[in-house]
Chain A
Amino acid sequence: MDLTYTAEEEEFRARLRRWLARALPALPPRPSPDDWPGRRAYDLGWQRMLHDAGYAGLHWPVDAGGRGATPTQHLIFLEETERAGAPYVGANFVGLLHAGPTIAAEGTAAQRARWLPPVLRGEEVWCQGFSEPGAGSDLAALRTRARRDGDDYVVSGSKIWTSHAEVADWCELLVRTDAEAPRHKGISWLAMPMDAPGITVRPLRTLAGSTEFAEVFLDDVRVPVANRVGAENDGWRVTMVTLSFERGTAFVGEVVACRRVLGELARAARENGRWDDAVLRRRLGRLNAEFRALWRLTQWNVSESARTGGVPGVGGSVFKLRYSQARQSLYDAAAEVLGAAALELSAEWTLDRLSSLSYTIAAGTSQIQRNIVAERILGLPKGR
């Protein structure tokens, strides 16, 4: 049980801090949330800066063009960039955290050479075509079909919840290549160029009013067979490799950010008089305990994955369950601090409160997570 960082890790942190202090003032102004081309350019620009400074693909293996950093160095990187107010991974998310690592692990040499460097250099954006209207928590129910025609697959179906679809160059796409096989055995993983004919992107408006993701309709879209990563009908396994990649670091920046927001809330309450309410104070105190512990859980999970060579343990689901709840409680407390102003839609905390509602749904609902915890960790029997 050691929470001190090694001299090497502290040196890594100090070097990163020096670079951030120099680099961040050089960033252009942030684009408005509705300006998708602007957001793409901004996020790619940040990725290019990271690349030029040697921080691109920090946690990717060296032979994939990454830096091969330890999970602890990755933790420090995410912590320090959030503290410094650096841009979020944004449009680079799928490329850096899902599609890229999948290609690095399962792609051929030619596929790695084609797709990985542009992700690291901030030249290409990926989106994710996994979920479908009829395949949410039950992803293996996906029905988008791909039929072989010469050197192409011809793909038809629809995908949903696809972030950055409007501005993506590529889509990591799960398709059904064998309708007769058992559900998990007939799926393949394709890299689909987003400029192919037959793709229609329709933005979806969230309850917060913004268009953070889209529906993607596929009508006889031709995707070269050479764009398949992994064997035909082995796409489910290929995808699971990706999902186990993040090594406990998925929410590092967010926990740091939540702790900052909690401090802002407490200080706002002191200024507007709400601090006199002992019930509210106690609520803020308990949130402090929660987020302190969630930070420790992050360090625990990262330490575990460092020991197991990158295989994440049970901590991921445990973390996600508690964090999603804590984040919602944090912004509910923000509404208590704001009072009537909590209904002012242009207030940052109001928008954050609305978007926090997605946390118990996205990437596996809390109900599914509890099933996973019960069956895989506690060994309870599967229900009928």
Chain B
Amino acid sequence: MDFQLTDDQRALRRGMRELLGRRFGRERLRAAADRPRTPEGRETPPALDRGLWRDLGDAGFFALRLPEAAGGVGLGLAEAVLVFEEAGRALLPGPLVATHLAAGEVPGAATGECVVAAADGALVEWMDAADVVRGDVAGAVAMRSADPLTPLHRLPRAVPADPVAALLSAAEQLGSAGRTLDLAVQHARTREQFGQPIGAFQAVKHLCSEMLVRSELARVAVYAAAVTADPLDIAAAGLLADEAAEQGARDCLQVHGGMGFTWESEVHLHLKRAWLRARRGRSAAEAEEALAADAAAAPAGVPD
């Protein structure tokens, strides 16, 4: 047993972080959030960056798990969660999970030429911008999306959840939790009040420590679920990753004080996306019920 990342996995993660740093850094994120308004004063809908999408395709983001014989990279779920973690860290917009899952099934999805959206939970992200929309989207109604970077449609009923989609969403939540922790720590180190960095105050320290604890617990849950692909492991990973991302963004906001409440701050974008991702797949209640039933049924012991 060696649960730690292999050298190849570390290199893959580093490569994806560098690519996203170049292609979707802070300025691009700000530009995506600060779109001009229409003459009537309404927000213009976010646009999908097709060039970035093809770059992701070239980097193997969508074809990662396709066999090499089918033109894919031939890697597994463990590698997929690492690149989705990076996407979550960068707050990369777009129907990433749906397109990744469509690779090999929808022509052009694997290369990033075809953008695929899908019904997930009771929502469809990027429905109008996508080339192909999968799943039953009958009755979809456009929303004014709370996440300024993700256009949304609402469905009259939730569609059945796909465990792999849930796991990849959990990986994005994990990346977001890591990013909000970094932002909080950076701010706590440099912002001074009462003659010292606010990070020297224990009340602030303890907020940051708990952010780390939650994200590290979510990390091992997500990675383990990627290795086992067990639906209950995925359910557990989803719960812990949602908690790490949502509470992490809130704590990050709190550490930033008044600045955290402004549009200019990056924090609210993470919080809103975390709220959105938590609505994907099945509900927390369903995941908890499944895990409760497992506890009642499982013989004593631990999974191997």
Which residues of A approach B to under 8 Å, CB–CB?
Answer: 1-6, 9, 72, 79, 83, 255-256, 259-260, 262-263, 265-267, 269-270, 275, 278, 281-290, 292-297, 299-300, 302-304, 306-307, 315, 318, 321-322, 367, 369-371, 373-375, 377-384
Quick check: is B224 within 8 A (CB to CB) of the other chain?
A: yes
Inter-subunit contact B291/A267 (CB<8 Å)? no
Quick check: is B127 within 8 A (CB to CB) of the other chain?
A: no
Inter-subunit contact B292/A292 (CB<8 Å)? no
> Which residues of A sit under 8 angstroms from B239, Cβ to Cβ?
286, 289
Q: Give A256 to B304 CA distance when docked, in angstroms.
A: 11
Inter-subunit contact A296/B295 (CB<8 Å)? no
Secondary structure at chain A's binding surface: helix, strand, loop or mixed? helix
> Which residues of B sit under 8 angstroms from A296, Cβ to Cβ?
3, 220-221, 223-224
Inter-subunit contact B210/A292 (CB<8 Å)? no
25 contacts between A and B (CB under 8 A): A1-B3, A1-B223, A4-B1, A5-B1, A72-B1, A281-B289, A284-B292, A284-B295, A285-B291, A285-B295, A288-B291, A289-B235, A289-B236, A289-B291, A292-B221, A292-B224, A292-B232, A292-B303, A296-B221, A297-B220, A302-B1, A318-B212, A322-B217, A370-B205, A370-B206
Minimum distance in angstroms from A370 CB to a CB of chain B: 4
> Which residues of B sit under 8 angstroms from A288, Cβ to Cβ?
232, 236, 291-292, 294-295
Binds A, one of B4-12, B18-26, B115-123: B4-12
Inter-subunit contact A259/B3 (CB<8 Å)? no
Q: Do A374 and B4 contact each other (CB < 8 Å), given the known contacts A1-B9, A292-B221, A380-B188?
A: no
Minimum distance in angstroms from A372 CB to a CB of chain B: 8
Q: Give A378 to B252 CA distance when docked, in angstroms.
A: 14
> Which residues of A sit under 8 angstroms from B228, Cβ to Cβ?
3
Binds A, one of B28-36, B96-104, B135-143, B195-203: B195-203
Most chain B Cβ neighbours within 10 Å, of A83, A267, A281, A292:
A292
Quick check: is B287 within 8 A (CB to CB) of the other chain?
A: yes
CB closest residue in chain A, given B210: A370
> Which residues of A sit under 8 angstroms from B208, Cβ to Cβ?
374, 378, 380
Minimum distance in angstroms from B267 CB to a CB of chain A: 17
